[in-house]
Amino acid sequence: MPSTVFAPAELREGTLRVTPIGGLGEIGRNMTIFEYAGKILIVDCGVLFPEVDQPGVDLILPDFSPIRDRLDDVVGVVLTHGHEDHIGAVPYLLRLRQDIPLIGSSLTLALVEAKLKEHRIQPYSLTVSEGQTEKLGPFELEFVAVNHSIPDALAVFIATPGGTVLHTGDFKMDQLPLDNRITDLRAFARLGERGVDLFLVDSTNADVPGFTALERSIGPVLDSVIARAPRRVIVASFSSHVHRVQQVLDAAHANGRRVALLGRSMVRNMTIAAELGYLKVPENVLIDYKKAKDIPDDKIVYMSTGSQGEPMAVLSRMANLDHQIEVGPGDTVILASSLIPGNENAVYRVIDGLTKLGANVVHKGNAKVHVSGHASAGELLYCYNILKPKNVLPVHGEYRHLVANAKLARDTGVPEANTILAEDGTVIDLRDGVATVVGQLDLGYVYVDGSTVGEITEADLKDRRILAEEGFISIIIVVESATGRVVVGPEIHAKGFAEDESVFDDVKPKIIAALADAARDGIREQHALQQVVRRTVGRWVNTSYRRRPMIVPMVIEA
Amino acid sequence: MPSTVFAPAELREGTLRVTPIGGLGEIGRNMTIFEYAGKILIVDCGVLFPEVDQPGVDLILPDFSPIRDRLDDVVGVVLTHGHEDHIGAVPYLLRLRQDIPLIGSSLTLALVEAKLKEHRIQPYSLTVSEGQTEKLGPFELEFVAVNHSIPDALAVFIATPGGTVLHTGDFKMDQLPLDNRITDLRAFARLGERGVDLFLVDSTNADVPGFTALERSIGPVLDSVIARAPRRVIVASFSSHVHRVQQVLDAAHANGRRVALLGRSMVRNMTIAAELGYLKVPENVLIDYKKAKDIPDDKIVYMSTGSQGEPMAVLSRMANLDHQIEVGPGDTVILASSLIPGNENAVYRVIDGLTKLGANVVHKGNAKVHVSGHASAGELLYCYNILKPKNVLPVHGEYRHLVANAKLARDTGVPEANTILAEDGTVIDLRDGVATVVGQLDLGYVYVDGSTVGEITEADLKDRRILAEEGFISIIIVVESATGRVVVGPEIHAKGFAEDESVFDDVKPKIIAALADAARDGIREQHALQQVVRRTVGRWVNTSYRRRPMIVPMVIEA
């Protein structure tokens, strides 16, 4: 993947080494390694969700190889917030060393602990909050409040004798957030005065001009849709979006409706958020979904998962009439959510399915029911101007986002040489305020599939893509070991190629003839005979059908 | 697929039967059948492009079964314009009866004839233009100019004693189009006065509020991007978008640049468009791409295909450095094109690849370089109000688009009972100004894969999806026919499951044991033994790996 791999020199004394190993050139699996004086600090440890050309893969992890042999040097993992792309790989890291301390805000740690419980891991954790400072090995940390689409997100300032770093995590700068907890620009100003040698900054929306709209602008829209809804209302959103759910609860309450939570992760996360006080549940609003049936249709709101068209989530199942709540005419469905690139077809399929059942579907395409959780270009300019960082490393984004973010930095006066366009595995050394790229590691994707981690390879995925496009044909032939004479077969079976296996009657004599030729030429070795069969069938299928299925020949001696 | 299938009654004398067999509930394979007095008229005959869950499929055709036994009754196929989703299935229809007359405008027929030439079919064709009337069997036709993202598009008015129909084809209402050929609302008004019993109307943008922007608004943007480009400019667009290419030629010319066309379909279509006078090529602008290398970088514009991220098209190959034009720093790439849902990841991958090579990538996300070819809600309201149709059948769209279009019709006063929400295969009878749904045919997708048409089934696609997600494990065992004793195997091979086949050492003794048990129970039949193997391996793989690959057991007697 990386352009040119080269090994970094040994880390010199007094130098801080920064190596992002996930989240650059992709939206997901965010993870950065900081090394100073033999000790390692990690910021975030997330997962990436697979794309269409990675079929069957459940999750993609960062490649832990740069720290695999150094686990005892790790002083801790700072988790900036509780989204999967920042905490999802923690269980896989802790499988390697269970007592690595986790550092994060109270909501973040509660969410990661719930996840670890499913993996039967009890972590060592240290709860921190904004303004707090901590020292982990040689790393002096200060935590700064930032505002995002989940409460209690933190940026982290890291000071070492080699240099200082500010890592934003994911953030935006909503100036009127629901919890009044704004991104702390005063702290940014103060840290800027002190001097930030390297600024790691969220790039997700760097190519979006202007400013991200206020989360609270959605409330009145939800209220008016719910007020006019003649029957049931179903709202779908991310199950960690506490403030979005808060606004649904408030709008339902204002309209005299009860709310039932649907979906395992929605129930789990909102229970945690309510217990910790992040979600303020109006009295007598929540109701168990099993009891919701007894409530009149115009007095209920279902708050559900599945806003990205995930096939097994509540909303998709409703669209397929495969859920106990049968959507019908007069029902209103609100997708109060983003539309992540790659999910369009799945989401539109759900919208079409619900529309066909008679529902009125409200989504960000036809109403203001979603705002992003990331800072747009205008907000990022504020950051650069108030912080005045010496060097900038755009993180968290596809390559085009990193480039757009670097341009914003330059526009505010950061010299071009000091804006670093890195990728996963780029090694950056920081010393005396100078950031230098000193290496490029060769890192791969680590695929989780079922209970296996890292066993599925790129070659397997290539095979899967061929199988998906073309199916396979298997040919079995048993030959007499003494003579090489065909005694059974060719038996031919195919999957994903054609239903009617009589199409293969055509090629069987060709295989027999090719093997007879091979025998005449003295070819007896199994692999060579299989090649003969593969070539014969391959040529036939390409000529007759203009297709290239996988051909799996097996010549067996008996 | 369809909700409830029921066969229509026999067609009564004096009734016009209308059956859309493609394009409703999908964007593509548009095709409608009109039947009167035993004769059949077809409007459009397009293809649909497959989605991710239809892997390996090249094209999807309408299901021709309603006319397959009635081909001699077909009096002609009217083609409203030259896009693939309206003409792409013509070769497959003409394979069934080669002398079905094709009726269309001169550009439309030139494009379909070029396509048919590749299939070695010489069609019978009748060129028509706006204002012209023709009689085909019992169908009186009048053609009406409409404006779209390809020149020379036509709506068709169909009059029979059973009733009158206006079919828009694809259209918008650009009031200042490049060729001054506007959608002829005067004709719509006149036909409305005469009486339109059924209005088939493009729904693609019915859920987009307001009005589609002018095509000519793109020209100044292209001009300013090209004027500021320091090196080469590469523009990608659909290869049939004559007016978009026209604006690129004009902007290049105004900036003293030559233009080289890249991509087979771009060269073919623009040659046709120029020959017929639809593309006005400024003198001394076009240059063969082979000679373009000799021109200074700041004097050339490449006009290419691949705007949807198609992996084999020019632009993707450039992004992968797999094209003779090596994109580098200072080059400018303009995607003057739409972003069709489902193509996002492929397109963003191309944008990221080009950005990484150093190119400045301009696209509809960051500049006004694309407008749609379809009428938005505002334009559709004009149509309904000027036409005042008795009945409305929204066509060309996903279900949500059809619903949005039906709502617009109702908003202008068409009674709800007269707006028909149909799907592919819905049979509508028209008589005395009344439109009635009289049947629902059971139609399927017809898949083209390689040189096969209709041989790949839904079961094959299901197998392909399983193979893609999970790969397969094949187990071969040779048993002695007399005793049932295993003489060879189990030989186990897998694809897309795991690279290291030693993982199967674990399960081999289990298979041997299971077969021994089966032998003891007197099980000897091949299929039953294979089931034993399948169950044994399936249980093992699910327990050990939490995965469900396809298991292909083969027990052979020798």
Distance between CA atoms of B341 and A342, rounded to whole angstroms? 9
Which whole number is the average pLDDT over A415-442?
A: 96
Q: Is A556 close to B449, i.e. CB distance below 8 A? A: no
Distance CA B47, CA B85 (A): 5
Which of A207, A352, A554 would you mutate first to test chain B, the one with the most B CBs within 10 A? A352
Is A373 marked within a binding site? yes
Domain ranges of chain B: 16-210+373-453, 215-363, 471-557
Residue in chain B lying closest to A557 (CA): B488
Domain B471-557 in the same topology as domain B215-363: no
Please tell me the least confidently modeled range out of A184-198, A332-346, B28-42, B200-214: A332-346
Average of pLDDT values for A215-237? 96
Which of A:538-557 have CB within 8 Å of B?
Answer: 544-547, 550, 552, 554, 556-557
Nearest chain A residue (CA) to B558:
A488
Give A251-283 pLDDT, tens digit per residue.
Answer: 999 999 999 999 999 999 999 999 999 999 999
Q: pLDDT band at residue A1, thresholds of 50, 70 and 90?
A: very low
Q: How many angstroms separate the CA atoms of B495 and B27, rounded?
A: 35
pTM given for the model: 0.90
B344 contact residues in A (CB cutoff 8 A):
341-342, 344
CA distance B182 to chain A (A): 29
- A443 min Cα distance to partner chain B (Å): 18
Percent of chain A with pLDDT over 90: 82
Which residues have CB under 8 Å from A415's CB, separation 6+? none
**Residue that the structure tokens 């959103």 belong to:** A237
pLDDT at res. A479: 84
Q: In DSSP terms, which residues pair with A155 in a beta bridge?
A: A144
Helix count (H) and strand count (E) of chain B?
16, 25
The token pair that represents B316 in the structure block: 């993707």
- What phi, psi does B201 have (nearest 5°)? -135, 135
Burial state string for A64-76 with b = 16 or more CB within 10 A and e = fewer than 16 = bebbeeeeeebbb
Partner B contacted by A452 (CB < 8 A)? yes
**Whole-angstrom Cα distance, residue A104 to residue A150?**
13
Per the annotation, binding residues of B for substrate are 239-241, 370-374
Inter-chain contact B345–A476, Cβ cutoff 8 Å?
no
Contact B345 A469 (CB under 8 A): no
Question: Does the beta-carbon distance from A488 to B557 stay under 8 Å?
Answer: yes
Distance from CA of A340 to the nearest CA of B (A): 10
Residue at B256: amino acid letter: G
Query: CATH number of the domain at A215-363, please?
Result: 3.40.50.10710
Out of B55, B460, B469, whose CB is closest to A56?
B469
A377-403 pLDDT, tens digit each: 999 999 999 999 999 999 999 999 999
Tell me the CATH architecture of domain B16-210+373-453.
Answer: 4-Layer Sandwich (3.60)
CA distance B181 to chain A (A): 31
Give the pLDDT of residue A409.
Answer: 97
- Order of strands, edge to edge, in the sheet holding B74-78? B125-127, B102-104, B74-78, B39-43, B31-36, B16-22, B426-431, B434-440
CA nearest to A90, candidates A66, A53, A70, A117: A117
Confidence of residue A362 (pLDDT cuts 50, 70, 90): very high
CA dist B111 and B449 (Å) reads 23
**Predicted ipTM?**
0.85
CB B439 within 8 A of CB A400: no
**Using a CB-CB distance cutoff of 8 angstroms, which residues of chain A are in contact with residue B51?**
345
Q: Which residue from B minimizes the CA distance to A544?
A: B451
pLDDT for position A273:
96
pLDDT of chain B along its 558 residues, tens only?
456 899 998 999 999 999 999 999 999 999 999 999 999 999 999 999 998 889 989 999 999 999 999 999 999 999 999 999 999 999 999 999 999 999 999 999 999 999 999 999 999 999 999 999 999 999 999 999 999 999 999 999 999 999 999 999 999 999 999 999 999 999 999 999 999 999 999 999 999 999 999 999 999 999 999 999 999 999 999 999 999 999 999 999 999 999 999 999 999 999 999 999 999 999 999 999 999 989 999 999 999 999 999 888 899 999 999 999 999 999 999 999 998 888 888 999 999 999 999 999 999 988 999 999 999 999 999 999 999 999 999 999 999 999 999 999 999 999 999 999 999 999 999 999 999 999 999 999 999 998 889 988 999 999 999 999 999 999 988 888 777 788 887 889 899 987 778 889 889 999 988 988 888 888 888 888 899 999 999 999 999 888 899 999 988 887
**Cβ partners under 8 Å of residue A379, min gap 6:** A172, A173, A211, A212
* Chain A partners within 8 Å of B557 (Cβ): 488
| Residue A519: predicted pLDDT | 81
Chain A CB within 8 Å of residue B403 CB? yes
Q: Which residue has the tokens 């995965």?
A: B547
Q: Residue A149 CB: number of other CB atoms within 10 A? A: 26
Contacts of A495 in chain B (CB under 8 A): 460, 463-464, 467, 472, 550, 552
Q: CA-CA distance, A252 to A17, in Å (whole number)?
A: 51
A202 is catalytic: yes
What is the token pair recorded at B280? 């006005």
Contact residues on chain B for A557, CB-CB shorter than 8 A: 488
- Helix-helix angle B106-118:B264-275, to 10 degrees: 140
Query: Is residue B202 annotated as a catalytic residue, yes or no?
Result: yes
Best B308, B456, B467 residue to mutate vs chain A (most A CBs within 10 Å):
B467
CATH number of B471-557: 3.10.20.580
Residue in B463, B500, B547 nearest the CB of A471: B463
User: What is the per-residue pLDDT for B1?
Assistant: 43
